[in-house]
């Protein structure tokens, strides 16, 4: 009976699901806005042509781009990444860098972080730059 009332008003069950998902997405965005957030960015250093991004090219990118986004500071962690090529069904290892920073998250800062990821992908012919955001509970 309840479902028929929704149908009578022109709503479908899928409309309700879409509405619920939209509310959950907006609530999730709201919970990060204005809070201290630890952002981690994972940068692979292997290029499609087999070359490895040089230390000087990486350092230039950090100086010219990363430092303009994370103006209060950040940490660069040298790492070894592993990922699976879905087409080849093969595990690949590559040198990587992780940049982590704690920022008071705003829509503006989030957009700058996403722009930074896009610049790296374009400059170094990368498929992706992983981004992880976590609410930070910090003490000094």
CA distance 47 to 85: 14
φ/ψ of residue 65, rounded to 5? -115, -55
The predicted-structure confidence for 14-64, as pLDDT tens digits, reads as follows 444 444 444 444 444 444 666 899 999 999 999 988 899 999 999 999 999
pLDDT > 70 in the chain, percent? 76
15-24: buried (b, 16+ CB within 10 Å) or exposed (e) per residue?
eeeeeeeeee
Check whether 129 has a pLDDT greater than 50.
yes
Whether the per-residue pLDDT at 11 is higher than 90: the answer is no
pLDDT in tens, 12-23: 544 444 444 444
Ordered structural domains, the chain, with CATH: 1-32 (no CATH), 35-135 (3.30.70.120)
Q: What is the pTM of this model?
A: 0.74
């Amino acid at each position: 009976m309840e479902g028929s009332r929704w149908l009578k008003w022109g709503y479908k069950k899928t409309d309700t699901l879409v509405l619920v998902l939209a509310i959950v997405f907006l609530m999730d965005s709201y919970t990060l806005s204005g809070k201290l957030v630890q952002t981690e960015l994972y940068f692979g250093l292997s290029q499609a042509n087999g070359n490895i991004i040089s230390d000087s090219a990486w350092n230039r990118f950090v100086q010219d781009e990363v430092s303009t986004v994370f103006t209060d500071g950040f940490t660069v962690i040298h790492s070894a990444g592993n990922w699976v090529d879905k087409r080849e069904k093969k595990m690949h290892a590559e040198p990587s860098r992780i940049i982590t920073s704690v920022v008071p998250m705003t829509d503006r800062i989030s957009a700058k972080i996403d722009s930074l990821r896009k610049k790296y992908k374009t400059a170094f012919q990368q498929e992706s730059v992983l981004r992880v955001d976590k609410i930070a509970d910090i003490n000094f």
